[in-house]
Structure 1
């Protein structure tokens, strides 16, 4: 149950919580941090205490003329954590201003090119928000590493090629990397979930 919920919340966070991931006025490339989110999850068992909490921190690229890259670090009070990514193909899409309760997702094949190396990947496609989310979580790490290494990245979706204008390792990106247990070696500040009324447990893995 926890694994399934973890995946569902990761998708929901990227599609709905990244409310500021819209095209800003032309400026230098930079990362922008969106408001953090802590979601309380209750099971069907009796009692009032939460089964677990899910914390999400999102950042998105800004200042570029094209698609927006979004990173979501998700950490749960059960000790699980993951790095997720999405690309908003239309930077002017305003789905988050009036999101639908029903998430209609399609499957698409995407050619991901990093520094000239091409690979075909399966993505979930959410037409209403123009966002694509990779099935394989390794893709998020590849995109993260592309930022770290300053790589050139492009995506070919439905016959159209999109070049990603990626900001470098600015202070917002570095802070995100230090906070996320998936990118900082497994460390997570339990105070973040303790403020929601529960202490994080050790990672069972």
Structure 2
């Protein structure tokens, strides 16, 4: 009995050690999940807090976050995130200075909506473009928050290593890989923001053209 328990404990510790060395980002997932799904490298997240000033319910934010994870999957060719109500990594949307850009985008969308009056022929097309921009804006907010949370967790891991003399040689490759993935995701987010700005410009041009025809 003791020998069986010893072997089981050794196997448990070996699995945790392997995951910590090969995929340090999995430390964000609960220990039980890492044991029951040892080959699942996706990062689990949950919705923890939604400031009411965003005007979004938890259900709506969950839907937008799913859209954001789908965008990551399409852009990077790999499924990095999965929603889990018991996840350790949490998304908190706090209304502060970081939302200035989002408020400006919404104000701009509101002004664009006002310019639609009297444009009967193209009103349906413009409304569809506006709704798409609103969805894209919400998805960008979630992506920015998710990337910030991952970056903070990565920096915390590096500080912990530094407190113990630096990253061990056996884990340097895995840490470098995590950093490379983080930078890749930041680059992809920058591309998504640039794409959103181009769509807003295209919408503005369409409204201007229709106003001249009015």
Normalising by the residue count of structure 1, what TM-score does the alignment of the two structures yield? 0.27
Normalising by the residue count of structure 2, what TM-score does the alignment of the two structures yield? 0.26
Structure number with greater Rg is 2
